[in-house]
Amino acid sequence: MKFYNIAAILLMFSLLISVSAQEIPENQYFRIQSAQEDGKSQKGYWDIPGAPQTVKEGETQNIQVYTVDNGPDRLFKFDEQDENQYKIIPKHGEENSCVRIENTSGKNSVNLLIAEENSDEDLETFAISYKGNGVWKIHTLSGKVICLADRSSENRKNVHIWDEHSGAWTEWVFIDPVSGKKFIPEDENQDIDGDESFETGSNQANLLQDLSSIKISNLSGKEAETVIKNIDQTYLELYKFESRLNKLNSNLGKAEKILNKTVVVSEKLNLLSTKINRTDEALKVFTKIPVVGPPVTAVRTTIGISKNKLDKLNDKVQKLEKPVFRPVCDGYGKLTGISQSFDDKIVKLCNQLSNLKSQYSAVSSCAAATKDQNTITTFEQKSSALNTKITEINTNLVKMNKEIDKLENITNSILKIEKPIKATDKGIKAAEKVFNKTDKAAKKIENVLNKKFKKNILGKKINISVKSIISGGKIGETIEKAAKKWATKLLNPVIKKLNIKIPEIPGMDSIYKELEEMKNSVNVISEFNTKINEFSNSTEMLKSSLENQMKECTSGLQCE
């Protein structure tokens, strides 16, 4: 790689710090359109004249812009080489070619084209930065911007390089060929945090904090006083319970999302384990070949260490998936709606008690005002039955609080894995990048080993593969010297790509520990689902009983 001038280095540095680092999905093809035409027209799409179906060996194809169509020469994918640096691979030439700069002069107006890939990073790798709202800029590694010739998106205008400047003609959008929508990266930080859909908001905004503001006077007797006291105490306990239930509901939503994320991470871990085994097998065939054998063996040793750790961890996690966290995840999915509905019923019960206090105190005063002992005695007896119903609410509350204790403990354990799950997900992505690079290096080694050395030397026609050259094929000393020099030049850039470091995947041990402790949670969650339905039904029945008992208290009284 060349040493770049100070301006180019400063430009690349400014790109790193001025825009958010956003990843472009690998193995997904896009149409690339000028931002100048974004949402306005079907013009300005990268295109190859003549609609070729392949890229032949030694062929170059110019890139221009044209009105969109469904040809494979309109589709490109991004092959990540380093952070924010990509090779751009055309669909119609994905086996052997990539987008590159026409030459190394670095002059303005040098065209972009498609040609056979040859490991020349300066020409074949691009820095891609995200500007927001689905808009991207593409630069060469020397800091030139990829833009429209003449700032025009008219058909047949070239795509070329120029000194860095700004304008819609220097910006691009990546269009999904299936949906027709431009790609806008998701903010990874919104995976679990910041999702307002789980902030339920307390129903207490519609409730009195207590019932002391409801004034009473001239009650009918001691039983009536007990009713008022029980209403006040029960309301206060319900108010506290609703607050607790509301907080639990908020955490249930968060826990459900964390569990869903855990399932996804578990699947990613399993896929990564499969990928590592595949990569290891792909590299194995090169270990006995001279020149490439030693670096490949070193990489396989490093992979082996990671592979053993990952296989053990993956095996443990996969064993827990079906019996533990998938049922827990399903249980939380059901709980969220049921618990929220129950919360609404508790709020209605609170409102009913508030109304009951007002109504009862008025009716009790009415009974007292009659000064008829039989009327007062009858009312006090009926009030005793009302007290029994209010006491039932308190009995239920004690039971419900005990059940919530259990679920809160489980939910708090799930919330603890939020940070580890994020760390693990990030670690898996980092590991995937490394193994993607290793896979690519293995493919490049294979391609280079199969390349043919074709020359006329000393009157002899030579046609021999790189693999045969470095394995000691009999071709004569003079020819061998020239052939090995050529082969080494081809192999050196590829071998450098094997100098990789396998990252650790953090967080999985913490996640496994919490999941292991969740084994008993499956039954608890199932039981809670049953209990909360029972409590919900009994709450409805108590509401109805209170209403009926209040009607019974008022019967026979002539009150205004």
202-227 pLDDT, tens digit each: 555 567 777 888 888 889 899 999 99
pLDDT at 10: 39
pLDDT at 318: 80
Q: How far apart are CA 319 and CA 78, in angstroms?
A: 36
Tokens of 286: 């090169």
Per-residue 3-state assignment (H helix, E strand, C coil) for 175-197: ECCCCCCECCCCCHHHCCCCCHH
Task: Taking each helix axis as running N to C, give the angle between helix 508-517 and helix 293-320, from 0 to 180 degrees, rounded to the nearest 10.
Answer: 20
Residue with tokens 């990613």: 268
Give pTM, 2 decimals: 0.58
Instruction: Name the residue with higher pLDDT: 320 or 78.
Output: 78
pLDDT at 378: 93
Q: What are phi and psi of 497, to 5 degrees?
A: -70, -15
Q: Is the pLDDT of residue 16 over 70?
A: no
Mean local confidence (pLDDT), 291-316: 81
265-294 per-position pLDDT tens digit: 888 888 888 888 888 887 887 887 777 888
H-run or E-run covering 377: helix 373-416
Task: Return the number of other C-beta atoms located less than 10 Å from residue 551's C-beta.
Answer: 9
Q: What are phi and psi of 445, to 5 degrees?
A: -60, -45
Q: How far apart are CA 193 and CA 257, in angstroms?
A: 10
Q: Is the pLDDT of residue 67 over 90?
A: yes
Band of the pLDDT at 474, cuts 50, 70, 90?
low
Q: How far apart are CA 158 and CA 178, in angstroms?
A: 26
Q: Is the pLDDT of residue 168 over 90?
A: yes
Instruction: Name the residue with higher pLDDT: 501 or 113.
Output: 113
Q: Alpha helices, DSSP H only, in 67-221?
A: 121-124
Rg (CA), the chain: 36
Task: Return the number of other C-beta atoms located less than 10 Å from residue 423's C-beta.
Answer: 16
pLDDT at 8: 45
- 508, 317 in Cβ contact below 8 A? yes
Comparing CA positions, the residue from 264, 275, 349 lying closest to residue 311 is 275
534: left (phi over 0), alpha (psi -120 to 50) or beta: alpha
Comparing CA positions, the residue from 540, 529, 542 lying closest to residue 339 is 529
pLDDT at 265: 83
Band of the pLDDT at 534, cuts 50, 70, 90?
confident
Instruction: Tally DSSP H helices, then E strands, for the chain.
Output: 11, 15
- 162, 11 in Cβ contact below 8 A? no
**Amino acid at the residue 542:** L
Handedness of CA 211, 217, 218, 222 (dihedral sign): positive
Tokens of 505: 């995947």
Q: What are phi and psi of 475, to 5 degrees?
A: -135, 5
Q: Is the pLDDT of residue 521 over 90?
A: no
Q: How far apart are CA 341 and CA 245, in angstroms?
A: 11
3-state helix, strand, coil in the chain (%, to 5): 60, 15, 30
Residue with tokens 């969650």: 525
**Amino acid at the residue 226:** T
Q: Is the pLDDT of residue 157 over 90?
A: yes
Task: Return the number of other C-beta atoms located less than 10 Å from residue 537's C-beta.
Answer: 12
Q: What is the CATH number of domain 6-185?
A: 2.80.10.50
3 state DSSP class of 239: helix
Comparing CA positions, the residue from 491, 487, 492, 440 lying closest to residue 468 is 487
Maximal C-alpha separation, the chain: 135
pLDDT at 110: 92
382-441 per-position pLDDT tens digit: 999 999 999 999 888 898 898 889 888 888 888 888 888 888 888 888 888 777 777 777
Tokens of 256: 């459900």
> Residue 89: beta bridge partners?
77
Residue with tokens 């991207």: 136
Cα 303 to chain centroid distance, Å, stands at: 26
Q: Which of 38-42, 196-200, 238-242 has the lowest mean pLDDT?
A: 196-200
3 state DSSP class of 55: coil
pLDDT at 417: 83
What's the chain's length in residues?
A: 560
Q: How far apart are CA 241 and CA 258, in angstroms?
A: 25
Instruction: Name the residue with higher pLDDT: 78 or 437.
Output: 78
Q: Give ranges for CATH 2.80.10.50 in the chain.
A: 6-185
DSSP letter (8 states) at residue 321: I
Tell me the pairing of strands 64-66 and 60-62: unpaired
Instruction: Name the residue with higher pLDDT: 41 or 504.
Output: 41
> Residue 126: beta bridge partners?
86, 140
- 543, 353 in Cβ contact below 8 A? no
Mean local confidence (pLDDT), 283-307: 81
Question: Mean pLDDT across the chain, nearest whole number?
Answer: 82
Mean local confidence (pLDDT), 79-90: 86
Q: How far apart are CA 226 and CA 233, in angstroms?
A: 10
Q: What are phi and psi of 209, to 5 degrees?
A: -70, -35
Mean local confidence (pLDDT), 76-82: 86
The percent of residues above 90 in pLDDT, for the chain, comes to 27
